[in-house]
Amino acid sequence: MAHAYEHPHPAVTTDVVIFTLAADSLKVLLVRRAHLPFQNQWALPGGFVEIGEDLEVCALRELEEETGVTGVFLEQLYTFGAPRRDPRERVITVAYYALVPMDRLHLRAAGDAREVAWFRCDALPELAFDHADIVRMAQQRLCAKLQYSTLALQFMPDRFTLGELQRVYEIILGEPQDKRNFRKRMLAYDCIEDTGTERRNGNHRPARLYTVKSPGEVRIIR
Amino acid sequence: MAHAYEHPHPAVTTDVVIFTLAADSLKVLLVRRAHLPFQNQWALPGGFVEIGEDLEVCALRELEEETGVTGVFLEQLYTFGAPRRDPRERVITVAYYALVPMDRLHLRAAGDAREVAWFRCDALPELAFDHADIVRMAQQRLCAKLQYSTLALQFMPDRFTLGELQRVYEIILGEPQDKRNFRKRMLAYDCIEDTGTERRNGNHRPARLYTVKSPGEVRIIR
DNA sequence: GCAAAAGTGTTCTAGGTACACCCATGT
DNA sequence: ACATGGGTGTACCTAGAACACTTTTGC
């Protein structure tokens, strides 16, 4: 049954590049490997696809196991299958990336022995396998997609200020945005809504709070 | 060795959506299946990934076996892995798409019993497995990428006229292009070059022949 | 001379960019 | 009163869209 076709069967995994924003920087979730190969090195969360398990379901499972979140943005990135990317046997990995809003994290207690941590994208440790390539491609995709879609809204909490949203763009793109043009553009997309409420934050004028009109949707713009 | 990890191993294939342009329409190459499942139905060319064979190499092999061409555009499309997409066992397929210039075809003689044919994209027969989904996604990608890259040049023969290039866009996008704006834009990209020669074709003025400056390259524009 | 595709410029419009000052609050 | 981030409008510029006539050939 498992070998109904007369052909070699490689192992297949999914790996997930889980992004979030914290402390004014873009972060990726990594886990420290407990076993060989690459023992003790940092790697992307991921695991083997079960027979009968859909690829995206597998990635969602990894995502929830590591961050406790469900219902967030997840998209297939690319499939990496170089013959010797895993030193043990042939392993093909279907890579996904996910965007977790800053406020929805419930990181698993590191009770299951493995170490789990967020790393700044601009200061990653050495990674196992070809995971550095995977993260690089995910970050490229994120940058690109930010500029022709409303993807950035997937990082926002339920209510947020335009200043916070602008900071998200600035952190990911790595360049400052003009405040007036930014606000004009965002409001023109008609994707966010003034809640009528405000937030007081420091020694300055309170900021209006906005919400995303249809939270699930990522619209293509331009 | 083949089961160094204690996990189920699905079968993995690559399938290739091979596009070309002929008779003023966009065509896809299909093969008629000789065996079960889906015996006698049309399907994408594809096959099992060998242990030790890179995914893209596997796709290139399929492409060459079916069309005899090498050195043409090939790009990973998406990985399809729904649990029951193959009725026999779990098969995950990494789908690619390829663009073959109209003049570079050397279709294999159908001597190997299997039937091979080009079909208009707008008149496909019923396809095996989830191949209809794969073709649909490939066609979407092609349309999208035409508009923000120089991908269309991959369809052109060594020398071609601007009228022919315009027809390529019109066929794939399914809408007429303004002649003057089209020419202005193409020349502004600075990707094609006037050869100084002309071609006489019918009862009308001869057309200038152009070549692609760097044939391999696909540039992102806008 | 007529049919058929090749070739060619200008005007208009919309979206993007650049840019500087007042406002509400906490200390 | 002052420091801090929030909030607002106009002028400019550039890229894309709309649009019609002349040229060269074969018959």
Output the DSSP codes for A127-169: BSTTHHHHHHHHHHHHHHHHHHBSGGGGG--SSB-HHHHHHHH
Collapsing DSSP states into helix, strand and coil, what is residue B72? coil
- Asked, for residue B221, whether it belongs to a domain, the answer is no
Element (H, E) at A19: strand A11-22
If 0-12 CB within 10 Å is exposed, 13-18 middle and 19+ buried, where does residue A51 land? middle
Nearest to B83 among A7, A53, A88 (CB): A53
- CA-nearest of B125, B134, B138, B137 to B38 is B125
Single residue among B129, B146, B163 that ends a domain in this structure:
B146
The reported pTM is 0.93
The answer to whether residues B218 and B154 touch, using CB atoms and an 8 Å cutoff, is yes
Collapsing DSSP states into helix, strand and coil, what is residue A93? strand
Please check whether residues B90 and B161 belong to one and the same domain: no
Asked whether residue B203's C-beta has any atom of DNA/RNA strand C within 7 A, the reply is yes
Please check whether residues A127 and A178 belong to one and the same domain: no
- pLDDT band for B89, please (50, 70, 90 cuts): very high
- CA-nearest of A133, A33, A48, A46 to A90 is A48
**Which residues constitute the domain of residue B183?**
151-212
Looking at the 3D structure of chain A, how many domains does it have?
A: 2
Nearest to A55 among B5, B11, B79 (CB): B79
Nearest to B49 among A10, A49, A50 (CB): A10
Element (H, E) at A210: strand A207-212
CATH number, domain of A53, equals 3.90.79.10
Please check whether residues A125 and A189 belong to one and the same domain: no
Q: How far apart are CA B47 and CA B13, in angstroms?
A: 5
Strand-pair partners of A99 = A19, A73
- Asked, for residue B92, whether it belongs to a domain, the answer is yes
Single residue among A101, A122, A146 that ends a domain in this structure:
A146
- CA-nearest of B189, B185, B184 to B214 is B189
Single residue among B146, B164, B185 that ends a domain in this structure:
B146
Put simply, the answer to whether A52 touches B83 (Cβ < 8 Å) is yes
CATH number, domain of A206, equals 1.10.10.10
- Asked, for residue B220, whether it belongs to a domain, the answer is no
Please check whether residues B75 and B158 belong to one and the same domain: no
Q: How far apart are CA B65 and CA B147, in angstroms?
A: 30
- Encoded tokens for A107: 């990181």
User: Residue A69: what pLDDT?
Assistant: 86
Please check whether residues A24 and A134 belong to one and the same domain: yes
By C-alpha distance, the chain A residue nearest B79 is A79
Chain A residues near residue B54 by CB distance under 8 angstroms: 81-83
Share the mean pLDDT of chain B: 92
Residue bearing the bigger pLDDT, B222 or B86:
B86
Question: Which nucleotides of chain C are near protein (any atom < 7 Å from a CB)?
Answer: 3-10, 15-20, 23-27
pLDDT at B109 over 70: no
Please check whether residues A121 and A15 belong to one and the same domain: yes
- Asked, for residue A217, whether it belongs to a domain, the answer is no
Range B91-116 average pLDDT? 81
- pLDDT band for B112, please (50, 70, 90 cuts): low
Please give, rounded to a whole number of angstroms, the shortest distance from the CA of A159 to a CA of chain B.
33
Instruction: Work out the percent of chain B whose per-residue pLDDT is above 90.
Output: 80
Q: How far apart are CA B12 and CA A10, in angstroms?
A: 7
Positions of chain A with pLDDT lower than 50, given as ranges? 1-3
Q: How far apart are CA A134 and CA A43, in angstroms?
A: 11
Please check whether residues A130 and A172 belong to one and the same domain: no
Residue B20: left if φ>0, alpha if ψ -120 to 50, beta else—which one?
beta
Please check whether residues A95 and A117 belong to one and the same domain: yes
Please check whether residues A121 and A34 belong to one and the same domain: yes
Please check whether residues A106 and A31 belong to one and the same domain: yes
Strand-pair partners of B27 = B20, B120
- Asked, for residue A5, whether it belongs to a domain, the answer is no
- Encoded tokens for A203: 């020694």
Q: How far apart are CA B9 and CA A217, in angstroms?
A: 35
Q: How far apart are CA A153 and CA A143, in angstroms?
A: 13
pLDDT tens, position by position, B172-184: 999 999 999 999 9
Active site residue B65: no
Q: How far apart are CA A83 and CA A87, in angstroms?
A: 9
- Asked, for residue B29, whether it belongs to a domain, the answer is yes
Considering A6, A53, A56, A115, which one is annotated as catalytic? A115
Among A46-50, B35-39, B76-80, which is the least confidently predicted range?
A: B35-39
The answer to whether residues B92 and B79 touch, using CB atoms and an 8 Å cutoff, is yes
pLDDT at B117 over 50: yes
Please check whether residues A42 and A94 belong to one and the same domain: yes
User: Residue A4: what pLDDT?
Assistant: 52
- Asked, for residue A4, whether it belongs to a domain, the answer is no
Please check whether residues B100 and B157 belong to one and the same domain: no
Residue type, A85: R
pLDDT at B108 over 70: no
pLDDT at B88 over 70: yes
